[in-house]
Amino acid sequence: MRMLFVMGGLCVSLARAAPLPQGYLQFEDYRLTEEHQYGYGVSLWHDTGRLHGVLFMSASLQGDVAAGEIEVQQFDPASGRLQFRAAEGSDKGQPYYCHFDGQLTTRALSGWMRCRHDYRAHTAGRVQHGAYAVRLPRSKEPMEMADQAEFDTWMVDYLRRNSAVKRVAYP
């Protein structure tokens, strides 16, 4: 039993130490009911230690997913430490944000998500200082993205149609 515990710790350490693949990464954790969908998804483009992407937030009918462009505040490719925010919506013209603080590994995006609205409604989860513990496993079947230009085109088009906060920057 003790050996399994030690080996389990080693596996976690190796997962954290493994370099992130370059290109498109997709993470998601949704709970589906007959008609509704609750949870988060993240699509990222990783290139030479830089990240950009989209946070998907859903607590309504399936397919009705709000989205916000991720603004990376801190990212350390060596450790996977990641902090970002994404516009969740607006009130009287002022945006309000979802904030994420956690770690990005080859297997999952996990940490704490603090949003004005609880997109994990009706789910059990740890809460700390108004933030919910989240673990978004890496998708086993992500969309195919040939390169960063294709990802950027898809992201701008998706955000133009589904952004929680409409921005002038999207043509």
pLDDT tens digits, one per residue of 23-43: 899 999 888 888 888 888 999
Cα–Cα distance, 86 to 89 (Å, whole number) = 9
Asked if the structure places residue 78 within a domain, the reply is yes
Report the mean per-residue pLDDT for the chain.
79
Domain-located, residue 133: yes
Residue 156 three-state SS: helix
| 127: confidence class by pLDDT, cuts 50, 70, 90 | low
Residue 86: its pLDDT value, please? Answer: 92
β-bridge pairing 36-47 and 23-32: antiparallel
Q: Is 3 left (phi over 0), alpha (psi -120 to 50) or beta?
A: alpha
Rg (CA), the chain: 17
Whether the model pTM is above 0.85: no
pLDDT for res 66: 80
Residue written as tokens 């992500």? 142
Number of domains in the chain: 1
**Residue 76 falls inside a structural domain:** yes
| H-type alpha helices, 20-147 | none
Strand order in the sheet with 127-128: 23-32, 36-47, 50-61, 66-75, 81-91, 94-104, 108-114, 131-137, 127-128
pLDDT band (50, 70, 90) for residue 166:
low
93 domain residue, yes or no: yes
| 25 token code pair | 């990464």
Closest CA to 75 of 37, 116, 113, 46: 46
Give 6 or 98, the one with higher predicted confidence.
98
Mean pLDDT computed over 132-157: 86
The phi, psi pair for 10, rounded to 5°, reads -65, -40
In a domain, 137, yes or no: yes
pLDDT at position 14? 42
Q: Is the pLDDT of residue 144 over 90?
A: no
**Distance (Å, rounded) from C-alpha 153 to C-alpha 69?**
13
Task: Give domain status of residue 11, yes or no.
Answer: no
> In this structure, is residue 67 part of a structural domain?
yes
Residue 12 lies in a domain: no
Which domain, by its residues, includes 147? 22-162
> Residue 163: pLDDT band by 50, 70, 90 thresholds?
confident
